[in-house]
């Protein structure tokens, strides 16, 4: 599947809105798009037609190599992410292949990244909602958070903040996640995978 070089990219961080969730493992997608927003020097604004905060900007080197992007944080809860993402896709006329979802991934070790196009939702409610709304053919940047310890329930684990030990490396891993998104948008999936899939 090829992407349209002139169409914008829609880069969606998945998470839950509100300060109570801000540092949760489930909100690592928000953390990565917040850093991308910081790099563009812009600020998120509430979108009039979608339940989301958005920032329009550019990613990549100045000139013809840069790409027009819409950074987005759905302000629905995680399991309703598909509605806001579809509304933004339609509003900005973004092909599905130019959509990137950044999300936490239980089946990958903490801090490990995996980039891919399409696939299943692996039980992730944000992906499930997006796929139900528009099919599976969008890019994913999967940010490993590891499995819950002992008998902790998955829902409790993802809605807890990163541990003190994890927080020591979190900024580095979020930075790497933002770099991976930029590489995906400017260099294409295969080159980004070869650099960041570890």
From 1-10, 34-43, 85-94, 102-111, the region with the lowest mean pLDDT: 1-10
**Residue 109 structure tokens:** 């070790």
- Annotated catalytic, 124? no
Task: Quote the CA–CA distance of 175 and 35 in Å, as a whole number.
Answer: 7
- Whether 101 shows a pLDDT value over 50: the answer reads yes
Task: Quote the CA–CA distance of 124 and 129 in Å, as a whole number.
Answer: 9
pLDDT score of 5: 65
- Whether 42 shows a pLDDT value over 60: the answer reads yes
List, in sequence order, every residue forming a beta bridge with 101; answer none if it has no partner.
Answer: 12, 140
For the sheet containing 99-105, what is the strand order?
45-46, 52-59, 67-74, 9-13, 99-105, 139-144, 113-117
Predicted confidence (pLDDT) per residue in 111-152, tens digit:
999 999 999 998 899 999 999 999 999 999 999 999 999 999
- Whether 23 shows a pLDDT value over 70: the answer reads yes
pTM above 0.85, yes or no: yes
Q: Which of 26, 47, 124, 139 is catalytic?
A: 26
- Whether 2 shows a pLDDT value over 50: the answer reads no
């Amino acid at each position: 599947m090829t992407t349209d070089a002139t169409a914008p990219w829609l880069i969606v961080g998945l998470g839950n809105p509100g300060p109570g969730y801000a540092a949760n493992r489930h909100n690592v997608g928000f953390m990565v798009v917040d850093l991308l927003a910081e790099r563009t020097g812009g600020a998120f604004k509430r979108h009039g037609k979608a339940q989301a905060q958005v920032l329009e900007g550019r990613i990549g080197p100045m000139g013809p190599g840069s790409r027009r992007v819409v950074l987005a944080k759905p302000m629905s809860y995680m399991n309703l992410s598909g509605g806001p993402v579809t509304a933004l896709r339609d509003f900005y006329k973004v092909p599905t292949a130019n959509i990137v979802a950044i999300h936490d991934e239980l089946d990958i070790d903490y801090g490990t990244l995996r980039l891919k196009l399409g696939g299943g939702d692996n039980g992730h409610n944000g992906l499930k909602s997006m796929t139900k709304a528009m099919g599976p053919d969008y890019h994913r940047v999967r940010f490993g958070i590891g499995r819950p310890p002992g008998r902790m329930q998955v829902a409790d684990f993802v809605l807890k903040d990163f541990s003190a030990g994890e927080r020591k490396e979190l900024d580095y891993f979020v930075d790497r996640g933002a770099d991976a998104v930029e590489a995906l948008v400017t260099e294409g999936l295969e080159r980004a995978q070869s650099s960041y899939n570890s």
